[in-house]
Amino acid sequence: MTGRAIIERTLLGAFAVFMLAVPWLIPSLVNSFWVSLIAEILIWSLFAASVNLLYGYIGLLSFGQALYFGFGMYGVAIGIDQLGLGFWPAFGLGVVASTAMAFVTGIFAVRLTWHYFAIITVVFSLIFYFLAVTQKWLTGGDDGINFSLPPTFSFGGTQISFTSGTFQYFFILATVALCLWLMQCVTRSPLGKAFLAVRDNDVRASLIGLNIYGLRLTAFVMAGFLAGVAGALFAFFGRYASASYMFYNVSGEAVVWAIVGGAGTLFGPLVGTALFIVIRELVSTHWEHHSLIVGVMAILVVILAPRGIVGLWSSLLSRFIDRGDARAVSAAGKLRTDP
Amino acid sequence: MMHTLLLLGLNGLIWGLIIALIALGLSVIFGLLDVINIAHGDFFMVGTVLAWFTLEATGSFWLGFITAPLIGFLLGALIQRVVIQPIGNVAGLSIVATFGLSLILQESVRISFGPTPRRILPPIQTTIPLFGIEYEVYRLFAAAVAVVALLGFFVFLNHTKLGTWMRAVRHDRDTAIAMGIPAQRIYILTFALGFALAAFGGAVAAPITTVDFRGGVDILPFCFMAVIIGGLGNLAGTAAAAVLLAFLEGVIQSFADPTVARIASLVLMSAVLLLRPQGLFKGLVR
């Protein structure tokens, strides 16, 4: 195993242990508010991952992912509040609604690329944002829908629900981890390689027989699914859904998180999201103008580390570790060829 | 009813002419630098705020017509040199950078100007009877100023050396550099002009709209619609589309909710993007 792989495995293991220990570790270190903050970071990083799947893996910059986030959110809220559904059917409704919406809008959107794609995605999301604002009977408009959460599991008399902070945290952690794992499976599969081929050069990809339109639509629907799950989780998390989460600045923040963290990497969106939300929480209690810092940081990262924080990290790793490995390998080679 | 329709149509027309100024800045920046400028709405907002500060400091509103574009020009040059130039024209990165810029501008204004929206009284207090109501003369005057500024910009672009250089760099950067055109400085000039146009639009619009640190948020999608429907890089088309869109929204508002008007123009924009991505007017102009 190379030095790089050892470092990365160790970090990943430590990270996994930390995430599993959060409900017990964090309240003793800081306070229990930070447990729910970490849960929130997980949800938003799943949302940023949906931007990342499109931009980092197939080269489409979507500025309208908030639309699918909002559909996931409203699917849950309307399902519970107006249709009287239970936890799981409402979850399903949210995810299915956003995925279906991604399919329908994707049919049109992925015909366009580059700037045109970015603009049509934001236009689609704005159309539904304004619709959600006007259709108050269904969506509650800007005031939104508040609802009380049905139990997640009930075995006879015992009910397990989000009222338990620990359960809520682990439910969110498990769902986000599952989604990221699925995304990792896709990006490592032949389908994922095809995505990368389209990202790097779509003309060449089409010349080797790849169906560019089909691949882009597939990625778009998958990204809509991820955003929908994130939206549904956020509705459960806040017991709330509002049109304001469908506005374009929500999509914009996800783009910033994904790119600052490192587009085209699995953990980039998580790192970017965590960085910005933690800064917001740390600074906003002392200084109300924290978005000044967010703006400066977004610009600095883009100028100094165009491949994002994770990209910066891996290039630092290759500078210090891989060089050492290469020296070791070549030394070993020399030893063997010596008579 | 007829009067309301005409009135809202006229309001739309005037608003469209001001938007055209701002959208022109957006289109120039996009066409030359390939930068999707998320902060452009805030450039407009900065213009309104500069007009307000000028009025407060000097007591003269008209001075704002000079200070707003001037300071906007300098800020634009600075931003291009410090933020945009190091990035190059990677679409994703420039979106993130201008998003950050937008946050910085909004927050700086919130610190210096304050979070509460304020109004500037129209500097021309007279009204004239029009379509059954007393219409503010300033609005008509603002429309005239916008038209003059638009025409002035087109004259600059087509009949001066700098304007020709801008068009040359846009057309073929490498050849332009080979001909000795300082492309790097043209980029700075373009971004600065884009900011100046938006800030000037802000100063003109300040007495019509409110001065608010979030004033750019609503303007931005509208400007993008004008640029897209007019056709990317088609400056005359952008101006025409801005007027057309604002007029249409004004007319629709006379019988429906303003949000419905906005949805209608967004749907129109999707149709244009999908069916005529080169813009509505390609082939008509020229």
Please state, in angstroms and rounded to a whole number, the distance separating the CA atoms of residues A137 and A146: 13
Query: A105: which 2 tokens?
Result: 């809008």
Which of helix, strand or coil describes residue B118? strand
Name the CA dihedral angle for A249, A254, A255, A260, rounded to a multiple of 10 degrees: 120
The total of other beta-carbon atoms located within 10 Å of residue B180's CB is: 7
Distance CA B260, CA B244 (A): 16
SS3 B50: helix
CA distances from A326 to A7, A80, A335, B86 (A): 16, 58, 14, 33
Kindly state whether B256 is in contact with chain A, defined as any CB-CB distance less than 8 angstroms.
no
Model pLDDT, residue A292: 86
Residue B211: helix, strand or coil by DSSP? Answer: strand
Extents of the domains making up chain A: 24-247
Most A CBs within 10 Å, among B96, B104, B229, to test the A interface: B96
Residue B92 contacts A, CB cutoff 8 Å: yes
Average pLDDT of chain B to the nearest whole number: 84
- A114 chain-B contacts, CB cut-off 8 A: 91
Q: Which chain A residue is nearest to residue B35, measuring alpha carbons?
A: A115
Q: CB–CB of B61/B54 below 8 Å?
A: yes
Within 8 A by CB and 6+ apart from A10, the residues are none
Contact between B96 and A259 using a beta-carbon 8 Å cutoff: yes
- Contact assignment for B103 to A302 by CB distance below 8 Å: no
Write down the pTM of the prediction: 0.85
Can you tell me whether residue B134 is helix, strand or coil?
strand
Per-residue pLDDT of chain A (339 residues; tens, 9 = 90+): 677 788 888 988 998 888 888 888 888 888 888 888 999 999 999 999 999 999 999 989 898 999 999 999 999 999 998 888 888 999 999 999 999 999 999 999 998 877 788 888 988 998 999 899 888 888 887 788 888 888 888 777 778 888 788 888 999 999 999 999 999 999 999 999 999 999 998 899 999 999 999 999 999 999 999 999 999 999 999 988 888 898 888 898 899 899 889 888 899 999 999 998 998 888 877 777 778 888 888 888 888 888 888 888 888 888 877 666 555 555 554 444 444
ipTM of this predicted complex?
0.82
- Cβ contact A296–B102 (<8 Å): no
CB B139 within 8 A of CB B208: yes
Per-residue model confidence (pLDDT) at position B278: 72
Measured distance between the N- and C-terminal CA atoms of chain A, rounded to whole angstroms: 27
**pLDDT value of position A3:** 76
Two tokens, residue A111: 């015909």
Q: Is there a contact between B92 and A289 if contact means CB atoms under 8 Å apart?
A: no
Confidence of residue B117 (pLDDT cuts 50, 70, 90): confident
Mean pLDDT along residues B187-204: 92
Cβ within 8 Å, pair A294-B95? no
Chain A residue with Cα closest to B270: A120
Task: Read off the amino acid at residue A291.
Answer: S
- What's the pLDDT tens digit per position in A191-239? 999 999 999 988 999 999 999 999 999 999 999 999 999 999 999 999 8
Q: What is the pLDDT of residue B89?
A: 66
Mark out the alpha helices in A110-209 (DSSP H runs): 114-134, 136-139, 165-188, 190-200, 202-207
Q: Where are the domains of chain B?
A: 8-116+134-213
> Residue A289 is nearest to which of B86, B111, B277, comparing CB atoms?
B111
Q: Judge contact between B246 and B265, C-beta under 8 A.
A: no
d(CA A227, CA A124): 15
Residues of B (126-155) whose Cβ lies below 8 Å from A: none
CB atoms A303 and B86 under 8 Å: yes
- The confidence score (pLDDT) of residue A316 equals 85
In this prediction, residue A274 carries a pLDDT of 94
* Structural contact between residues B71 and B80, judged by C-beta atoms closer than 8 angstroms: no
Contacts of B86 in chain A (CB under 8 A): 303
Residues B150-183: tens digit of each pLDDT: 899 889 988 998 888 888 888 888 888 888 888 8
Q: Does B84 touch chain A (CB under 8 A)?
A: no
Given an 8 Å threshold on Cβ–Cβ distance, is A115 in contact with B260? no
Copy the structure tokens of residue B275.
């069916």
Q: Closest chain B residue to A258 measured between Cα atoms?
A: B96
Query: Is there a contact between A47 and A230 (Cβ–Cβ < 8 Å)?
Result: yes
